[in-house]
Amino acid sequence: MTHICFISTSTVHSAASPNELTQRIELTPWDLQLLLVDHIQKGILFFKPTPSQEKELKGSSHHATLRPSVVEVLLEISRFRDIYLIERILDDESGERVLLALENAGLFKSGGLMKDKVLFCSTDNGRLSFVRQLEPDWHVDTNPDTLSQLAKFIRFQLYISPSGSSSRSESNIFNSKSLESFFNEDSL
> Residue 99 belongs to what domain range?
29-45+67-182
User: Phi and psi of 125, rounded to 5°?
Assistant: -65, -40
* Residue 6 belongs to a domain: no
**How many Cβ atoms sit within 10 Å of the Cβ of residue 179?**
22
| Residue 9 belongs to a domain | no
88 vs 11, more confident: 88
State the pLDDT confidence band at 51, using cuts at 50, 70 and 90: low
Condensed to tens digits (0 to 9), the pLDDT of residues 103-134 reads 988 889 867 789 999 999 988 889 899 999 99
CATH number, domain of 178, equals 3.40.50.1000
15 in a structural domain? no
| Predicted local confidence at residue 170, as pLDDT | 80
Residue 155: alpha-carbon gap to chain centroid: 17
Longest pairwise C-alpha distance within the chain: 44
Residue 174 has pLDDT above 80, yes or no: yes
Q: Domain for residue 55, yes or no?
A: no
Mean pLDDT of 161-179: 77
Residue 50 in any domain: the answer is no
Q: Percent of the chain at pLDDT above 70?
A: 59
22 Cβ contact list (under 8 Å, min separation 6):
164, 165, 174, 175, 176
Q: What is the total count of domains within the chain?
A: 1
Residue 161 lies in a domain: yes
Pairing of β 173-176 and β 156-160: parallel
Among 127, 16, 6, CA closest to 59: 6
Establish if 1 belongs to a structural domain.
no
pTM of this structure:
0.65
Domain membership flag for residue 174: yes
